Structures are given as structure tokens and as C-alpha cells.
Chain A
Amino acid sequence: MSEPILNPTLNLARQLAGQFAIRADQADRKGELPPEDVRALLESGYLTLSIPRVYGGQELSLRECTAAQLELAQGSAASALVAAMQLHVFGSARENRPWPEAAFERLCRIATDGGLINAVASEPALGSPSRGGAFATTAAPHPDGWRINGQKTWITGGKHLTHLLVKLNIEDDPAAVLVPNHAPGMVWIETWRQSLSLRASDSHDVCFDDVIVPFDHLLERGAHPERPPDAWFVILVASVYLGAALAARDAVIAYALERVPTALGRPIATLPSIQRQIGEIDLALQNARSFLLEAAAGWGGDADTRRRWFPRIVAAKVLATETAASVTEKALRIAGGAGITHALPLERFFRDTRAGLMHPPSGDAALEMIGKYAIEQAKGDADG
């Protein structure tokens, strides 16, 4: 179940995954993103995959980035999530060009020069903005620039980020402002270390207390309902959880080959019941992986085309994250008692994949979107 072997991007992702894997357990226990993982992502150029070629990146398609992320996440889902954030910021901006071109170029150059960037939207009271609501974080004019106040939550990458694209309100307008990390007045609050999932992703909170940024750091202001939804975030995040589930499959197969119970006298992998359970895992993963890549490959075209394809993107995300959650649980059952200890990485994969169920679009909102589109299609068929 893998991509062509001669693809240099996939080979890079696999090598990085190998590097991340040796640090992932300790990083999870410490609840810290390994600086070595960040360094490897930056030095290898992996974080430039979605940046336009003209601005120094590699301009890979959503499908190519998804395939790479599926490999990368097999080493560490937490570090792959950090990478997913930067890939989606530039992939989405490349398609939609939401900012003045000069600002976009400058941001791309920062990234290709070693920057680590994440878009920052969620807030403690608001939660994820995917279900609507105004930001409590604000920017107001000040003689020296924009003065920012507020608190943001779930900021993957945390202190390792070089810049934050902060979604906030200016008066009643939604807006986005670029804030260099560690600007005076920024205070990081370590809220994430003991979370259930992705403990090593440093997805902490940050407070902005009269943080001043120059006026030219304002990237956009005003609502843009005409813009199509963002498939990059949805698909790349889903690939993180499915990648973790692929790693769980490999780990439980390795365990089944090694584990020889005294009474059995041979590896449990020889038992038909174990083979059947691994077969169920493999079948589910092949299905979810194929659908995710197919949905990513179909993304493109004009705004209307993308809007029509988006329910398929959501469906692929739901299938990927639900599959990841269920197969990592099955892997635990196969391994038995050993699976819930630190002796195997299975409990980490199980915990990490729970977060996929919460990442938007999720739950009822996602299913309603998929169902609504299916009904509209059926109505169109009947009318036509």
C-alpha cells in the first residue's frame, strides 16, 4: 500500500519519518515538539512543498502533498501536524491569493528562508471558527502600527513558529495580521502537554497583550463569502491521522510476527483469527487511503468547481479519521495487554488518532454537508 518508489518527495518524507520515529515516544512522554524534527523539516525543504515555484517553493499539488504527509505521519503524527499547517497555509493561499501579491511573495520568501508559519484562528470562547462566530481577538490602530489584544488557542508549533497569521477582528471586520513570534507582549501558555492526543505538537495557547505590529503586516480585511472552502486544511490534517493509523498497522504486524506465547509455541501472526483482524485493518486503510488521495487529486478548477467538489473532500476526511480511530483500536485489541503499555507505540497511535474526530469539519456538521450535497445531486438527477 504505497506510492511509487522513485518519487523524490515521497522518499524524503519516508526518510524524515524514519528520523522522527526514533524520537516520537520520548517526545510524547515529555509533551514537547523535538527541535530536531523542526530542524529536519526546515533544512530538508519539506516545508516549501506547497509554495509556488516562482517564490522559491516546489508547487506540489494537493494530492502530492497528501501522499507525502501520509508517509511523514508514520514517523510522528505530532510533527507531521506541524508540517501540515505550513503546507496548508501556502497551498490554500496559492490557490486563492487572499493577500496582496507582494505580501504573499514576502511570506513565501520568509518560509523558503527557514520560516515556520501557522494560521491562528481558534479562541477559548469561540472554539474553532468553522461553526461561525466573531473573533474576540482584536487589532486597533496605534501610532506605531496595529495594537493586538486577545488570546488564541490550539496553536500547533507553539514557540517553534517564526510567524503567526492571526485571524482577528478590526472593528466589525474579520482580518488577518502577520505577527512575528515572540513579539513584545506575546505570552505563551503551555496548555497542551497533557492533552490526550498529539502531545508533542506544542499546540499551546498564546496571549496578545498590547502587541504592536507595523501597519503593513495587515494582510487582509473584510469577509470574503465568495471564496471556496479550503480543502488543503481538511485533507492534510486527515492525512496526519491516517498516516498514524498506517504506522499502527505496521507496528501491530511486527508485534504479531514477534510474539510467541508459551502455550502456542509460534508467532500469533500464524493464527487465522489474528490474520482476519489484520485483514480488516488493512482493508479499511486501503479504502480510506485511496479515497483520500482520489479526493485530493480531484481538487482544482475554478471556484464553482471546487465548491461542488468540497463535500467529497469532507467525506474523505471523515472516512480517513473514523478509519484511523477504529483501526488503531483494533490494533490495541490484537496486541492485548502489551498494547496499552509504553512497550509498544500502539497506545500513542490510538490516542493521537482521537483528535482527528474533533478536527473540523467533524461530526454532525460534516455529515450534514455530505448528506445535503447527496440530496441536491439526487434532486438534480430527478429534475434533469
Chain B
Amino acid sequence: MDKPTPGDLVALEALIEDWLARAQDAADKALNLSRIGASRAEFYRGQADAYRRAAAELRALLADESGEDQAAPVEYAQVSLDTAQTVLKLAGLSAAELRAHPDRTFSILFLPLQFRSVGEVSEMLMDVADVDILDSGRLLDTNKSFVDFAFKSPPV
């Protein structure tokens, strides 16, 4: 993705403000119970949450772009890709792909045929190594399951 221009940033900031205004409007409606009823209030609470969430996500994206609010990276153990592959084999997991990242974290993408939940996979991994599970879920483009992890200490 191209870096946003100053004009883009102004437009995106305006969009955030618009969403926050809509969130406030929906929140105000939700408070007006006597007119809309309590069940309808939940609907407007949902709208307010969705606008706030969208605004927060866009703001975080813009902060990432400009390098703001970067927390100090956690130091994980340096482990080679080969060693990480061995750990996966020990765990009984066949990974379609293992990716190493510069911050010493790893991503595993699992074969679509693997009939296991992400929770099970995470447990199997933690059984054989001292790891932090950093994230898990599915990739939006392929729906493949992924688990991001890092070694808190080098595997024995």
C-alpha cells in the first residue's frame, strides 16, 4: 500500500471525526429510553460501538504509519528456523509453512486439511516448548488457520 499523502491524512482524520460524531449520536439515542424503548437502545449501543471501533482501528493504523506509539519490542529467545521446525515435529504438528520474523517471532500456517482447532494446536505447541502464543485465527484471504508464537527460552 502506498504511504498516505498529507491530503489523505487530513481526509482520514476527518473520517475519524465523522465516525466519532455518529457514535456519539447513536449513544445519545440509546440514552433516550423513554422515546425509543430499552430494546431499541441496545441496537443504538451496537451502532455506537461499531463506529467507535472503526474510528479506533483507523486511528491505530494511522499511528502505525507515522511510527507513533510504538511500544518497545519484547525480547524473545533467538531460535533458528530449523530448530523451530523440529519443535513443530515434536509437537506432532505438520505445518504447511513456517515463517520466521525479524523480531524472533514465528507464524505457522496450517494445512487446510488439518482437522484440528487452533486451540488444540496451541496446546500441543506449548506442551513441548516454552512459548508464548501471540495470536491465532484465520487469514482473511485464504481462511488458513495460523498461530503466531515466540520462544520465551531456547528449546532443549
Contact = CB atoms under 8 A, between A and B. Distances in A.
Partners in one complex: yes
B114 A180 contact: yes
Most buried by B among A17, A114, A159, A178: A114
Contacts of B70: none
Interface string A40-82: 0000000000000000000000000000000100110000000
Contacts of B43: 14-15, 17-18, 21, 74-75
A10 B40 CA distance: 11
Contacts, number: 95
A182 B143 contact: yes
Interface string A2-27: 11010000110011111101110000
A277 interface: no
A266 interface: no
B148 to A, nearest CB: 15
Most buried by B among A23, A35, A36, A180: A180
Contacts of B46: 14-19, 21, 75
Nearest to B46: A18
A198 to B, nearest CB: 21
Interface residues of B, number: 32
A15 B115 contact: no
Nearest to A38: B140
Contacts of B22: 22
B88 to A, nearest CB: 19
Does more than half of chain B's interface fall in helix, strand or loop, or is it mixed? helix
Contacts of B47: 18-19, 21-22
B42 A213 contact: no
A5 B39 contact: yes
B50 A160 contact: no
A29 interface: no
B152 interface: no
Contact of A214 (B51, B113, B144): B113
B143 A162 contact: yes
Contacts of B49: 15, 18-19
A74 B119 CA distance: 33
A182 B114 CA distance: 12
Interface in B32-50: 37-40, 42-50
Contacts of A161: 143
A284 B38 CA distance: 23
A212 interface: yes
Interface in A103-123: 106, 109-110, 113-115
Interface of B: 22, 26, 37-40, 42-51, 54, 112-115, 117-120, 137-138, 140, 142-145
Q: Which 7 A-B pairs have the closest CB atoms?
A: A18-B46, A15-B46, A14-B42, A19-B50, A113-B117, A18-B47, A5-B38
Given A10-B39, A18-B47, 13 more contacts: A10-B42, A14-B40, A18-B45, A21-B43, A36-B54, A113-B120, A159-B143, A162-B138, A181-B112, A181-B143, A182-B143, A182-B144, A214-B115
5 contacts: A14-B46, A18-B49, A181-B112, A182-B112, A182-B142
